[in-house]
Structure 1
């Protein structure tokens, strides 16, 4: 049959008209959906407009059309990923009959996805909705979705279990549900999806679930990710059936048992991630068959045995075996790998020497073999390829000198070599490397610090204590503007402390005890306003203690003991909030400032025979220089003269005694009281001082009525712009309007020329810190039982929750610690000391403290309680209080101070508790301190719990629950910390579970 030219022309004309009609229809659908269902605040879709000249959407943003022979056809794909759009799910897109792909990822779409309207999309092959805010249960898919090949719903807010319908996608190749709040178990019916090439179910809080053995049927899988999904049990042997698998990620679960030999059948595997589980046994030799493997991480398990040579010979890029129980020597063949970039085997029990040619054939960047039992000399070729960035070898038995070649490695920025037997002089060029971190402490190194250390201009931590370094501290060290920690202690440094230290504005710790430093303490150190610790003990320092040290706003550790210091103790030091203070064994003289005349400071002054204090044994009492006879004679004369004067006044002007002095003070009453300021004045004597702080002295005042008050007398005069003025204003403005049973009551304040004090209710049992940590017997029940500690925790949490959520405006305390939680006669807690408190500016809709962030000029608070982000950024909100309260909870559990020396070097109570909480053990019927956690494992609390408490099994369980709350509160990331209102709920819930 011959087709006429006219017929062909008419056919093309009809087809063109049909295509134009289809194109017009698609454009109308798109614009209707945009206008009714979506919000486009950034106007990224402004070209979605139908014009007379162009009614085709094929050139619109995010639109793809099927193009044949240059003729525009209908819309086939919509890709609006990361366009900043919001609104609900745009079901209307699916009215485009030719549409097969929708990608709406990385937007702020929200709401639920209903299965009814979703049926419009049954022709879709690709649906990608990752990183949005969709809620409710996962969308149900009807049987008509036979063509669906890609379904990605990662990082939304979906809840509930995975629907059964997800096991019926006969064509599905990709299923990604990562990062949703799903429940239930990992369903075995997903093994019906035999066309799957990628399956991702990571970061989902499933119920404890084993890996379904039927997943071995998914033989087309190339990517399997089930990390952080609460998996338990053993890795099924059927895993070996996935012969096309390239990436296996089962990390951060609770998998147990041995790694199956069948894993050696994964011939295509490129990456295996099994870290942070509880796998045991030896590494299967079959892993050595995986010649395509490039990234291998089995760290943080319970693996044992030696490293098989066959595995060591693999051409790996990253090789991570850390935090296991491996033993034996490293096979030399591991050093011949030309691909090796990352090598981490720390926290094991490897022995022997490192391969001599390590680094000679590879571009290694990270090398961490710390905390093993290696010995011998360091490999000289470690930086042969000039790519090495980190060398971490601490806590081994390495000996010999640091290779000269390391000084030529200008790529290195991080070195930790502490705790070895290294000796000899450190190569000169080693000091000049562009480091940020240098740890050499606990070795046998010699030599001096050269002035060229100034080349390490970004160095933030210099820790070289416990060596044999000598010479003077070069002034060039003051050019290290990023230096935060300088620990030169226990060496043989001489000369004076550089006066230019004031240029190191970021210094937080200066530790130089046990050297031979002489000269005076430079007053310029007061410019280091972030300094929290200054330890210059056991040197030969002379001169006086600079009064300027009292100007350091966050200093809480000051040790100047065992030197040759002279002069009086400056009263300016009373402005400091010191947890550790020691000036013993010097040549100081004079009267100890009244604020230091407390039992807690008694050892701080021993070995200074010329110091005196009225009632601070064994410090001698202060005496007049005149002899006793002269004192007696003068006293008699004064008494006679005074008596005569009083008699004369009485006769001449008897009404004088009825005239009260006219005071010009401003008195503010905050509570109903039965006393006046005149009742308080006579009691503000040295004998009644019970405490001191940066802003003033605290007195115990007992009135004639029998009532006892606590009075804080502030330093300085009225209106002075000082720290005490700031404290006065803060406490008066905040406490004056607060009424809560767990916040200390401010009764009255007096502000004027003659008086500047604040009057509070008196707390008979002092502070929680005193009760927990005082070395002497306390008035309170000693030791505190767990019931009392728990009650204190709940009460203090309720007080802070009131500040954050119920006060208008919300208040952030900024100095939450055990010493600022006071206890009344019934051991009921009161949050106190609001001198650093700040109101937040806004509230959210339910009255909770807003996410406002205060940027402070300097970090305030107390060492050990300060949240990490506050120390680094000087920014504060209510989550900084939550962190500090978490530290208090850990104090209640452990009975230890936040920086107790028993925790070890560079470790605080948070890190100590975190490490102890992650330790799991086999159950022992003899040990009541072993408790099951939420995953059914046994956790040993015996190392954490205060041994002074006698506990029942039920109380151990409650302590473990409170421990979990404390670890939540002290999360490194503020976003992960609960609000104080939630903390109260969690604590009360735990209590009710008893």
Structure 2
């Protein structure tokens, strides 16, 4: 009888286990699994307990945990999982779970841990989430949830962690969150909330350990009630608009380890009583309006990181900072601090990063800075330090970045200092140094930038410099170097800039400079070089700045220089002779050849040999007339044919039944409603590929419709090429905008296609393009705050393409006409017809067959090499910034000069006041000049000198009182992070 009972019960047990496996099999069918992560989910198994990501209770053998993080699965959230009644933990972190989160997720009554971070979920947060009685951990970081935080969230019974970081929540920060008494972590950072005050009710969360509200559009003062959070270990209120003093109640947070208040508008001094913060390790109140002195009681704490840069602190740095045993980061740049540094600074501290640039410090550099042997960055530029570089620093082999420029340092640089093995940036510019470059520089194997201009260095440049195989920039102008360039210098195959003007160098240029394939700038002005200009210079395809003026070069100017695409060149005041190469025999280049009595050309001030030239000019004029007449005839015929084709196409009735609709968002209209609006009266723009219509829908909303003509009609070869280009542009637009979602990228609602016509339907931007508005008589509408907002918006859109898309996307046609403006002048990047994804296989930038982009915006290296990478977009965006600052077109057709060249020339010759748009209010001059600096940095001729778009966003936000977010903290633990020093932001103006 017992045996018979077991036989009857065992099938029921098997059925129970198989039922969970059946549920999981149905979940698998609802996912797209490109990497095969779920390949071992075999329906022939008796139990799912051995499947990937599945964990079962060891006793009941029921599924209690499912972790499919980082598996690249795609599809909607499977509420079928809620039928696994013992499922306590569910993690689908970092996948492509899409659509909205269904309200019936609340049926997962057993869930305690729910992690859906880093997915593609959209819509509102379900209010039913609060009905899950056991939920303790809720993480929706990095999705696209929007709207308000549901009021029901105040009813969570056991919730300990609530993380909504990096979504699109745009309601206000609600006070009812203060009712979740069990909460230990509240992470709401990086959401575009409506301007909100910090609710004082958050002070009721007495169990709270982490309060992370970075970049939440917070305004007003910091409430005193936060001082009641006695268990708080991490307080992060950075990147907001908080003002007023730092409340003294915060000094009662006895457990706090990190306080981050950077990039607000806090004012006044640091509160008294900071000695009570005995657990404090990181204090960052940088980029505020704080003043007074740095209190001694703060420096007596066991700090690991102290960031007070970009404030108004005065006075001396307390001596007690030298006694801090754990201090690894000290950043105080851009204040008004003065006096000498504590002589024992670094003696007891494992200093990694020291940046005290842009202050008024004086005296000697402490010899103990690298006493622990771990110092990596030493940034002291723009102070009044004097004396010699301490010999102890020449033994600091951990150094990677050294910037001592713009001080009053003197004497010879220690020999070992030249040869530090890990330094990649060594800047000693604008000091009083003397002596030679030591031969020990041969040991500086990592050196990339050697900037030693404006000193009194002398002697010859040693042969060992030629062994620095990573050297990109050698700037040694305005010194007293003598003798010839070392022959080994041609071995610098990575060299992009060689600037040695205003020295006493002599001799001939060494042979073999054809190896400088990456050279972008060669400036040897005002030396004593002699001999011929080497033919090899004509092979340097990336060279666009060449200045050999005020030397003793002789012979002819090589014709091979015509192969170069030079933006700047100068051969004046030498001993050159013969004919000027025909490409440069133009009056606009006249000043570049003066002072060479032997040069011949039909230019005023040069020798005359004009008889033959005049005859040649006469023949040339006749040829031009003939070519012009032929061009007019061809254009006329083409125009007539185009009008005829347009007329024929307009006569064709649109067969609505043949249209195919592909939508990328939930639509409130049909394709027929769009087609009814394609009337000539609704045309708002036109281009080479088609027309743009404004379509007003039945619900009163407007959309923009781009109509591209194409199809398979037979035609000549040029028609086929044109159709192919339109097809490529259509596919690129759909492939790009159909996949990406960002507030600063124009939204593509849908596309409609037939055999002969293609339509792209976008969100309508009532203020048109930035180019049209800026350069029309409506330019006065764009005051400086509006222009600044447009720059930030567009930069964030491009940063998303470069850094957040996988693989990254290069726009390739960034220009003011492709930046559209909504009703509030919010900017969207548009027109992705020539966009390309970036090669991430490690094979380097991909070569294009033709140049994409618009005149005035194309980066110099792109025009010559056809290489596609993000640096090309950054150059183009730099031109847009210059347009916003100057109000000028990217190319001045009257003078034949591009905007970048005009800005640099005018700044140099006339000053910044002649560059800025006179329509802008002068009260913003300081801010405008900072943005101008960013534009100049982005348009650097050398791509390596251009910042990344992520860095551009940070610099722009710095100007307006915001900053780039720090890396996401893991579990609230303190970790070192990196700030680039302010001096890296450029200083052209």
TM-score, structure 2 length as denominator? 0.68
- The answer on whether the counterparts of 1:929 and 1:941 sit within 8 Å (CA) in structure 2 is no
Shift of 1:892: 6.1
Q: Does 1:33 align with 2:27?
A: yes
What residue is the counterpart of 1:57 in the other structure? 48
Distance 1:163-1:338 versus aligned 2 partners, 3 A rule? same
The answer on 1:849 being equivalent to 2:835 is yes
Where does residue 45 of structure 1 map in the other structure? Answer: 38
Q: How many angstroms apart in 1 are the aligned matches of 2:513 and 2:779?
A: 42
Q: How far is 1:488 from its partner?
A: 1.1
Aligned partner of residue 285 in structure 1, secondary structure: coil
1:494 is the counterpart of 2:482: yes
Deviation (angstroms), 1:402 = 0.6
Question: 2-side partners of 1:86 and 1:900: how far apart?
Answer: 49
CA distance in 1, matches of 2:906, 2:326: 39
Q: Which residue of 2 is the match for residue 765 of structure 1?
A: none
Q: Name the residue aligned to 2:531.
A: 543
Deviation at 1:258, TM superposition (A): 1.6
Q: Matched residues in 1 for 2:340 and 2:119: separation?
A: 52
Over 3 Å counting, the alpha-carbon distance change for 1:873 and 1:426 in structure 2 is: farther
Query: Is residue 128–residue 152 contact of structure 1 (8 Å, CA) maintained in 2?
Result: yes
Identify the residue that residue 752 of structure 2 maps to in structure 1: none
- Cα offset for 1:445? 0.9
Pick from 329, 344, 369 the counterpart of residue 382 of structure 1: 369
Q: 1:520 aligns to what?
A: 508
- 1:221/1:16 Cα in 2 relative to 1: closer, same or farther (>3 Å)? farther
Deviation at 1:84, TM superposition (A): 3.1
Unaligned runs of 5+ in 2: 635-686, 693-772, 788-797, 802-808, 819-829, 840-844, 889-898, 940-945, 954-989
> CA separation of 1:586/1:185 partners in 2, compared to 1, >3 Å: closer, same or farther?
same
- Is the contact made by 1:683 and 1:701 (CA closer than 8 Å) also made in structure 2? no
Question: What are the equivalent positions in structure 2 for 1:396-435 lying under 5 Å apart?
Answer: 396-434=383-421, 435=423
Paired with 2:564 and 2:553, the residues of 1 have a C-alpha distance of 20
Native 8 Å contact 1:701 1:709 kept in 2: no
Considering Cα pairs closer than 8 Å and 6+ residues apart, tell me whether 1 or 2 has the greater RCO: 2
Judging changes above 3 Å, is the alpha-carbon distance between structure 1 residues 944 and 377 closer, same or farther for their aligned structure 2 residues?
closer
Tell me by how many angstroms 1:976 deviates.
9.8
Q: Give per-residue Cα distances to partners, 1:332-365, cap 9 Å, x unaligned.
A: 0001101011111111111000100111101111
Instruction: Decide whether aligned partners of structure 1 residues 789 and 414 sit closer, same or farther in structure 2, where only a CA change above 3 A counts.
Output: farther
How many Å apart are 1:60 and its aligned residue?
A: 3.2
Q: Is the 8 A contact 1:702 1:708 kept in 2?
A: no
SS of the residue corresponding to residue 624 of structure 2 reads strand
- 1:876 corresponds to 2:865: no
The one of 270, 273, 292 equivalent to 1:286 is 273
Equivalent in the alignment of 2:68:
80
Aligned to 1:231: 218
* Residues 286-330 of structure 1 deviation map (CA, whole Å, 9 limit, x = unaligned): 333211010111112221111000011111111111111111100
Shift of 1:13: 11
* Aligned mates of 1:928, 1:845 — CA distance in 2: 29
Question: Gaps spanning 5+ residues in structure 1: where?
Answer: 1-5, 625-634, 636-680, 690-698, 712-736, 743-783, 795-800, 805-810, 822-843, 918-925, 932-937, 947-958, 964-969, 978-994
**2:948 corresponds to 1:972:** yes
Instruction: Compute the displacement of 1:177 (Å).
Output: 0.6
TM-score by length of 1: 0.68
Q: Does 1:570 align with 2:535?
A: no
Compute the displacement of 1:15 (Å): 10
Counterpart residue number, 1:607 = 595
SS in structure 2 opposite 1:263? helix
Match of 2:520 among 504, 507, 532: 532
Q: Distance in 2 between matches of 1:194 and 1:392?
A: 46
Report what 1:469 is aligned to.
457
The number of residue pairs the alignment matches comes to 754
Residue of structure 1 in register with 2:658 after alignment:
none
1:751 — aligned with what?
none
The alpha carbon displacement at 1:700 in A equals: 9.8
The alpha-carbon distance between structure 1 residues 276 and 16, as it changes in their structure 2 partners (threshold 3 A), is farther
RMSD: 4.7
Check whether the contact 2:811–2:832 (CA below 8 A) recurs between aligned residues.
Answer: no
Offset at 1:86?
2.4
Query: 2:343 aligned to 347, 356, 363, which one?
Result: 356
CA distance in 2 between counterparts of 1:88 and 1:621 reads 80
Match of 2:582 among 572, 583, 594: 594
C-alpha separation in 2, matches of 1:879 and 1:367: 30
For residues 562 and 846 of structure 1, the distance between their equivalents in structure 2, rounded to whole angstroms, comes to 48
Say whether residues 1:929 and 2:921 are aligned partners.
yes
Q: Which residue of 2 aligns with 1:166?
A: 153
1:386/1:411 contact within 8 Å kept: yes
Q: Which has the higher Rg, Structure 1 or Structure 2? A: 1
Separation (CA, whole Å) in 2 of partners of 1:855 and 1:25: 51
Change (3 A) 1:398 1:453: same
Aligned position for 2:981: none
The whole-number CA distance in structure 2 between the counterparts of 1:710 and 1:468 is 66
Per-residue deviation, 1:532: 1.2
Aligned partner (choices 169, 172, 179) of residue 182 of structure 1: 169
Q: Does 1:113 align with 2:101?
A: yes
C-alpha distance in structure 1 between counterparts of 2:548 and 2:579, whole Å:
18
